[in-house]
Amino acid sequence: MGTKQTERMEDINISIDQKLIEEGTSQLNSEIQVLEAWLRELEAMDRNDAEVIAARKSYNDMLQSRKEMLSSLARQAKLQSVAAE
Q: Could you tell me the sign of the dihedral formed by the alpha carbons of 72, 75, 81, 84, in that order?
A: negative
Q: Torsion angle of alpha carbons 61, 64, 70, 72, nearest 10°? A: -100
Does the pLDDT of residue 62 top 80, yes or no?
yes
**pLDDT tens for each residue of 1-45:** 566 666 665 655 666 688 888 999 999 999 999 999 999 999 999
Burial of 12 (0-12, 13-18, 19+ CB in 10 A): exposed
pLDDT at residue number 61:
98
Global pTM value: 0.76
